[in-house]
Each structure stands twice: as structure tokens, then as C-alpha cells.
Amino acid sequence: MSDSASDVSDSATARARRTAARRPRGPAVIARHGRLRRPAAWAAVLGWIGGALAVALVAGTSVGAIAFWRLTQNISDNAVVIGADSLAAPPSVGEYEGGFNILIIGSDSDAEGIMNDGRDTNLNDVNMLLHVAQDQKSATLVSFPRDLFVPIPECADYGPASREKLNVALYYGGDAGGLDCVVQTVQNLTGLDIQFAGEISFNGVIEMSNAVGGVDVCLDGGIDDPYTGLFLGPGTHTLQGFEALAFLRSRHGVGDGSDLSRISSQQVYLSSLVRKLKSDGTLTDVGKLYALATAATQNISLSQNFARLDTLVSIALVLKNIPLENIVMVQYPGTTAGGTGGVTALQGPASALMAAIQADQPIRLDADSLDGYGSTLDPNAPAPSSEPSPAGSGSPDPTATDDPGPAGVVVSGVRGQSADQYTCSQSFQF
């Protein structure tokens, strides 16, 4: 059983075959990924890998110098170009001012043969835009459904087009311009300028989960998903390596089996990851920071203006100080109804969401944001504490502030959660 027929629109498939025939590198079968989803929820991680880079930057020992050189080389080797970003002047360490937008995509690139299925596609199946407000007191992470119908701009191998699935943008951009094509597509959709971008593959997901020692994920009723090979009972599991990848890929095992439910399930993982990075000593443990930074710089291809140690550190210092309750994760509003084989944007909520972000208003979620098809509140969540967040050693967080920032705006009809909410991934409901 395969759902690949609904993964990519017929027109996209036909055009992909025509463009593949023109290219000397050989054809790519764009529809091969029906059973093999591969979401990677790593946009927020880039905010914390800078901590390790900062350690290397200030270290005065030979070990610190070696670490600095290795991380620099990793970043340089993986850098890619988006737009005119090579002309942008990066900030000095600790001096980043104002807001910014980071786009992180998870591709189905599998050069290491982890899936052992002979895949030859290169699709952007996860698309996450992190918006940090001008006052640097709040952040919104928007997940865009991979099957969302969007306009595609003119890219290296195809375009423009009025209606294609978002996940073909990486492919249409070609070998050298794939990430830039995704950036242009999301910029056109949202009206936001994207300053920084990065791409992560299967192996990157595995290595990053290993570097943090796994992520605790709550399951309300277990997952039974032969498509990803993930079989877990109800309760809390520490996921890392291939198991973490399988969880983030799982669609048939959660919610109503749709890509929208899978995004909600991914946010369960991501919120737990963010809490772990901010509370268990990761930010003060040189070994953990270096392992995380090494995994990230070896497995994430960054845009050229992002692929600098000083830029990463400056951004990390901003994100490190944003309170968990002010980090909100939402999905771009859409629906699978109508028999289109994809996701159609819900124009009212989508426009309201993007207008709030464009106006730099923090997003707040209403009571229906956890809709019961992908994630739900954890009934065993710890009680809220009035004490400052721990910094890893039981001491008060030195970055904590009494200023909560702007009150924000509630956007109805938007699914999501804040990073301080403890949630459980829901098992398949139908």
C-alpha cells in the first residue's frame, strides 16, 4: 500500500520528468516518497548550536583552537547561496540587533542510504520559518505543510507556476539553486524577507538527536506504523537515532493520518527538545555543546550569510534569552478537504497569521489550538512553577527577565502550542 499518488500533483510530476530529460545528471523520480516521510524539526536548534561555537571562539587553549577550526571548516564546506546573501554583512558576536527570519527545510536526501530504498529524490518535505520579533522577546515558528498548494517563482529548472505543492520547490531549484527556490517560494507566500536559511537531511536528524542524548516524547496511546517501522506503546519514550527519525516521519501512526496531524506531532517533539536544551545543562556543558555544534555543522547546509561562526553565535545569544512561553509553534492554516490530493490554504486564518507576524506582533493561541488530531495536553505535565527557569545546575537562570514583553494577538483557527506546554502525540484515530 502506497500513498505516493497523492504526494505530488500530476502536473508537477509531468513537468519534473520533462526537466529531468533536459539535464545531464540524469532523471529524478519526483513521486518516490509515498511511504517515506521525513520531517525534521530543527529550526529552533540552530539557536542553541551557537553556544558551542561561542565556547570555541573564546577558548584560549589548543583544544579550543582545534574545535574552532573544525567547526569553521564544517560550516564552510556546507555553505550554499540564496539570493544575494553573500553581500549581506553579518553582525559581530553579541551585537545582533532587531528581528530576523530563518527558514529551515528538511529534505529527503539520503546519501548515506539510511532508508535502503534506492531513493533518488530531493524534495523539501519539512519547511519551518522562525520569526524573531524586533524586540527579541518573542519568536514564532511556522510549519508549512509539504503538500500545500502554492505559487512557484521562476527557478533554475522550472517555473513560474500558479499552483504546485510546496515540497517540489527544492527539486525545481536544481542542484545549485534548490534552497534559494524554496526561500523565494516562502517569501512570496508570506510577504516576509528571509535573511537566513538551512537544509538538513535524514542523517542530520539522526546525528542531532544523538548529540542531545535523545528527546523525551509522550505518546497518549502508542504508535503502530509499519510505514516507518515505528512501534511504541503509550507513555514517555526517550527517542534518538533512527527511532527519532521514524517518529518525526510518522504520518500513518498519528492523528488522522494527514500531514497536518504529523506537524502537530512534530511540535510535541520540538517543544520537548527546546525545553531540554534550555534546562538540563546543555547550554553550560562544553562537551554537549561541542557535540551538538559538530553534528549540526556537519549535517546542515547553511546559506552563505548564515554560515559564519559570529552570525550563529549572535543569533544563539538572542534565542537563548527568549522565555519558553514566548516561543510559539504554529502550522500554516490549511485543509485537506475537497479531494485535491494536497493541502489548500485557509485564507482567513492564514492571512490573519501572516499579518500579525508582518506587524511583529507575538502570536498567542486560543483554546482550540490543540485540536485533538495529532497532539493533546499531557495530563501528567508538571505543575507550573513560579521559580525562575533552571540554567542546568539548579541555579536561577541568569538570562531570566521580569519583563514578559508584549501581550500579543490571538489568531483563531491556528493549530499549535508554545514551547512551555507539555503535550503528547496522539495515536492514529481512524
All structural domains of the chain: 4-425 (3.40.630.190)
Q: pTM of the full predicted structure? A: 0.79
Residue 271 to residue 103: CA distance in whole angstroms: 18
- Angle, vertex CA 261, rays to CA 195 and CA 143, nearest 5: 5
Amino acid 311: pLDDT: 78
C-alpha closest to that of 5 among 28, 27, 33:
33
Record the cell numbers describing residue 202, joined without a space. 535524514
C-beta separation of 253 from 223 below 8 A: yes
Amino acid 111: pLDDT: 60
Record the cell numbers describing residue 8, joined without a space. 505530488
Amino acid 157: pLDDT: 92
C-beta separation of 335 from 343 below 8 A: yes
Amino acid 398: pLDDT: 44
Task: List average pLDDT for each run of 10 residues in the chain, which is 430 residues long.
Answer: 37 42 34 35 43 37 45 70 54 71 83 58 88 94 95 94 95 90 97 92 84 91 91 96 91 90 92 82 67 77 80 78 91 91 94 95 87 86 60 41 67 92 88
Amino acid 310: pLDDT: 74
Amino acid 35: pLDDT: 33
C-beta separation of 269 from 217 below 8 A: yes
C-beta separation of 30 from 12 below 8 A: yes
Laid out side by side, the sheet with 124-132 consists of 300-302, 196-200, 100-107, 124-132, 139-144, 327-331, 416-418
C-alpha closest to that of 55 among 266, 405, 391, 294:
294
In 147-241, the DSSP E strands lie at: 149-152, 161-165, 196-200, 215-219, 223-225, 230-232, 235-239
Amino acid 120: pLDDT: 63
Amino acid 317: pLDDT: 76
Q: What one-character-per-residue DSSP string does 220-249 give?
A: SS-EEETTTTEEE-SEEEEE-THHHHHHHH
Q: Cis peptide leading into 160, omega within 30 of 0? A: yes
C-beta separation of 119 from 36 below 8 A: yes
- List CB contacts of 259: < 8 A, sequence separation 6 or more: 37, 145, 146, 147, 251, 336, 343
